[in-house]
Amino acid sequence: MAKFDIYEDVTARILDLMEKHGTDWTKPWADGSASGFPISMTSGKAYTGVNVLLLWAEQRPNAEWGTYKAWQSKGAQVRKGEKGTQIIYFQMLEKTDEETGQVKKIPMLKYYSVFNASQVDGYESAPIELPNKAEKIAVADHFIARTNAHIEHKQTSAFYVPSMDMIGLPPREAFKSTDGYYSTLLHELTHWTGAKHRLDRLSSGGFGSTEYAKEELVAEIGSAFLCVKLGVTKEPREDHAKYLNNWMKALRDDKRAIVKACKLAQTAVEFLESEAA
């Protein structure tokens, strides 16, 4: 029997999601929780990394998730016939080398199944009060301004230039929607975090290369995360269609790409949050 490969399975699931939904393959649900992120009903904390995408992909109406036993401990019961969603648990194990005595850290990944609150009986989620649109826009503008990123709103397209450390965008008035403006800006702001004097993530790979595709994937996931955190509905740009094939090629060439991209995107978001604090 072939050995089960977690990375391969996760990649296949994300690829399937991308193929089904086209350029809008990330589908944040901003009305599911106060933060918009799926949360653990046991700890009350938001899930992180690739687990966010795996749970978003289920498009459940509630943000709370838990294992079968966790729901039972709350006096709730998973309904008969409901299927769990497999997510990843990551842990660093320490192993001592018998010959050298050195302690090595070995990454361990394993699956476990969780169920959404909408799949159980006997549990009622606390009502979530979402901020109004004006608040969302104000929060996003404040966050972006606090990063002190150099942004010029006088271009004909959207881009980030590492050599100038500058984000270029068309005038705000040129965008067809408010959501489109913020998702575009936050995509480029995620690129901005990759500069050498920040997270040193950017490579010299040109358009169409695997490295370029991976960075685009990081930026798009980072934009999706930030849009939810700041209360902005995700809306892909029209030119994202041409990036899709590059992303999919990168994923097929490297089955760990989606997991790596999620981790890098989360690091980028955390960096921006620290800058904006």
Q: What are phi and psi of 36, to 5 degrees?
A: 90, -5
| CB contact burial 189-206 (16+ within 10 A = b; e otherwise) | bbbbbbeeeeeebbeeee
What amino acid occupies position 28?
P
- The pLDDT of residue 12 is above 60: yes
Kind and range of the H or E run holding 95: strand 85-96
- The pLDDT of residue 20 is above 70: no
Q: How far apart are CA 269 and CA 198, in angstroms?
A: 12
156 DSSP 8-state letter: S
Q: Tokens 């990168």 belong to which residue?
A: 250
Residues near 108 by Cβ (< 8 Å), separated by ≥ 6? 90, 91, 92, 93
Q: How far apart are CA 272 and CA 275, in angstroms?
A: 5
- At 92, is the secondary structure helix, strand, or coil? strand
Show me where the domains of the chain are located. Answer: 31-121, 133-276
Residues near 86 by Cβ (< 8 Å), separated by ≥ 6? 54, 111, 112, 113
Average pLDDT for the chain:
80
46 DSSP 8-state letter: B
Which residues partner with 39 through β-bridges? 46, 64
- Give the distance from CA 251 to its chain's centroid: 15
- At 212, is the secondary structure helix, strand, or coil? helix
* pTM, rounded to two decimals: 0.71
- The pLDDT of residue 235 is above 60: no
Mean pLDDT within 187-197: 96
Cα-Cα end-to-end distance for the chain = 51
Higher pLDDT, 2 or 29: 2
- At 87, is the secondary structure helix, strand, or coil? strand
Q: What are phi and psi of 72, to 5 degrees?
A: -60, -40
pLDDT band at 30 (very low <50, low <70, confident <90, very high): very low
| CB contact burial 24-62 (16+ within 10 A = b; e otherwise) | ebbebbbebbeebbbbbbbeeebbbbbbbbbbbbbebeb
- Residue range 70-94, pLDDT digits in tens: 999 999 999 999 999 999 887 777 7
- Residue range 136-163, pLDDT digits in tens: 688 899 999 999 999 999 887 889 999 9
- The pLDDT of residue 9 is above 90: no
Cβ atoms < 10 Å from Cβ of 177: 10
- Residue range 57-70, pLDDT digits in tens: 787 878 899 999 99
* β-pair type (77-78, 120-121): antiparallel
Q: How far apart are CA 196 and CA 37, in angstroms?
A: 30
Give the chain's radius of gyration (CA, Å).
20
